[in-house]
Amino acid sequence: MLKPENLCMAPWTHTYLSPQTERRLCCASREPAQSFTQYIDTAEGDNEYTPETLEEYWNGAGIRSIRKQMLNNEVPDACQVCDKKLLNQDVYRDYFTHLFNHKWDEVIPSTDADGYTTMKPVSWTIVLVIYVILNVVCVDLCLVVVGKQKLASKAK
């Protein structure tokens, strides 16, 4: 099978954890909010906080649907930011393709007709928001971890 033009490697290699601790496909994916509406969300949150483990998310109904659509060369609604270049011209789909194109050969044999995959995430974006002095100062720290790189170095 030839690689579909609209395929992004993120659903097979990456996960994103928002400052509100909601799991998403990536930082640019437009998904309905869970409990906290973010600027990019497509729908209001229901104010019910239901955290998902990585295992629950990784082969959950939402991401399996995205994988199936991509394999059919369809653009999932969650991926409109990349497809329509809504934030900028350099889109995350190109970034994930650049980083993980070598894993394309694993996608088809590891993904069943329902979108379930035996591939494991090898890339994470974790956004930590640290509030200091009664929320006066906010610092965003983004860590993108690829492969076997360490999350943090030891303090000396």
pLDDT for the residue 106? 96
Residue type, 123: S
Q: What is the Cα–Cα distance from 87 to 81, expressed in whole angstroms?
A: 7
- Tokens, residue 48: 């019910």
The contacts found for 81-89 with CB under 8 angstroms, 24 or more apart, are 81/28, 81/29, 81/30, 81/40, 82/8, 82/28, 83/6, 87/28
Would you report the helix, strand and coil content of the chain in percent, each value rounded to 5? Answer: 30, 20, 55
pLDDT for the residue 12? 95
- The pLDDT tens digits of the residues spanning 37-69 come to 555 555 666 667 777 888 999 999 999 999 999
Note the pTM of the prediction, 2 decimals: 0.74
- The pLDDT tens digits of the residues spanning 97-112 come to 889 999 999 999 999 9
pLDDT confidence of 136, banded at 50, 70, 90? Answer: very low
pLDDT for the residue 134? 46
9 and 111 Cβ atoms separated by less than 8 Å: no
Please report how many Cα atoms fall inside a 13 Å half-sphere around the Cα of residue 58, on the Cβ side: 15
pLDDT for the residue 135? 46
Q: What is the Cα–Cα distance from 25 to 75, expressed in whole angstroms?
A: 14
